[in-house]
C-alpha cells in the first residue's frame, strides 16, 4: 500500500510533471532547430502558465527570435475525456509577444487549399483566444510593427482593437 501511494505521489508531483513537460517541449523544438527557455507554472490538470518564454534558433529555421512574457492555457482533462479533442482547450491568453521571422528561410512550400473544401479551425482549438500587446516583424522590416490586441472566439467573428495609445 505504501509503495502504491509513493508511486502516485511520484506520478502526480507537479514540479516533476512540469519539468518533464519542459523537457518534452525542448525535444520537439530541437527537431525544428529551436531552443526554448521559460518558466512553467500552474496546475497540471486544469491550466498551464508559461512565463518569460524565449525561443532562439540553433540551426536553419524561419524563426529568428520569439519572446513571450505570459501565456496561459486553461483546459479540462475531464472535458477531453467526455467530449473529445475539440473540448480540451477553454481559453488561451498570450501577452507581450515579440517575434522576428525570416520568410526566406521557410523550408515548406505553401499549401494551396482545395477551393471546393471548407476551411476550418484545427480540432484542438480553444473557445477563446486573447492576444495582447504583441509585435511581429520579418527580418526585412525596418522595425517592428505596431503592437496589437486581438480576441478570437470560436464560432464567432474576429475582434481586433487598434494599438493602445500611450
pLDDT at 37: 94
Cα 132–chain centre separation: 14
74 and 94 in contact (C-beta within 8 Å)? no
Q: Which of 38-52, 128-142, 144-158 has the highest mean pLDDT?
A: 38-52
Three-state SS at 20: helix
**Could you report the per-residue pLDDT of 5-32, keeping only the tens digit for each?**
666 666 667 777 788 889 999 999 999 8
Selection from 52, 28, 23 nearest residue 39 by Cα:
52
Tell me the Ramachandran region of residue 82: left when phi exceeds 0, alpha when psi lies from -120 to 50, beta otherwise: alpha
pLDDT at 151: 64
Residue 76, pLDDT > 90, answer no
Residue 102 sits at the vertex; the CA angle it makes with 101 and 106, to the nearest 5 degrees, is 110
Q: Which residue has the cell 471546393?
A: 116
Is the pTM value of this prediction over 0.85? no
Amino acid at each position: 500500500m505504501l509503495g502504491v501511494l509513493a508511486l502516485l505521489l511520484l506520478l502526480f508531483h507537479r514540479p516533476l510533471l512540469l519539468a518533464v513537460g519542459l523537457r518534452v517541449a525542448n525535444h520537439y523544438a530541437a527537431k525544428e532547430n529551436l531552443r526554448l527557455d521559460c518558466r512553467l507554472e500552474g496546475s497540471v490538470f486544469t491550466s498551464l502558465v508559461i512565463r518569460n518564454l524565449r525561443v532562439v534558433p540553433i540551426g536553419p529555421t524561419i524563426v529568428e527570435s520569439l519572446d513571450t512574457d505570459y501565456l496561459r492555457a486553461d483546459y479540462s482533462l475531464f472535458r477531453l475525456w467526455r467530449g473529445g479533442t475539440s473540448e480540451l482547450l477553454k481559453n488561451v491568453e498570450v501577452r507581450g509577444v515579440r517575434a522576428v521571422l525570416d520568410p526566406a528561410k521557410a523550408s515548406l512550400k505553401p499549401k494551396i487549399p482545395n477551393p471546393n473544401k471548407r476551411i476550418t479551425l484545427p480540432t484542438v482549438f480553444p473557445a477563446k483566444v486573447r492576444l495582447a500587446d504583441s509585435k511581429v516583424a520579418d527580418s526585412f522590416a525596418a522595425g517592428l510593427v505596431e503592437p496589437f490586441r486581438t480576441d478570437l472566439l470560436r464560432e464567432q467573428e474576429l475582434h481586433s482593437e487598434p494599438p493602445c495609445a500611450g
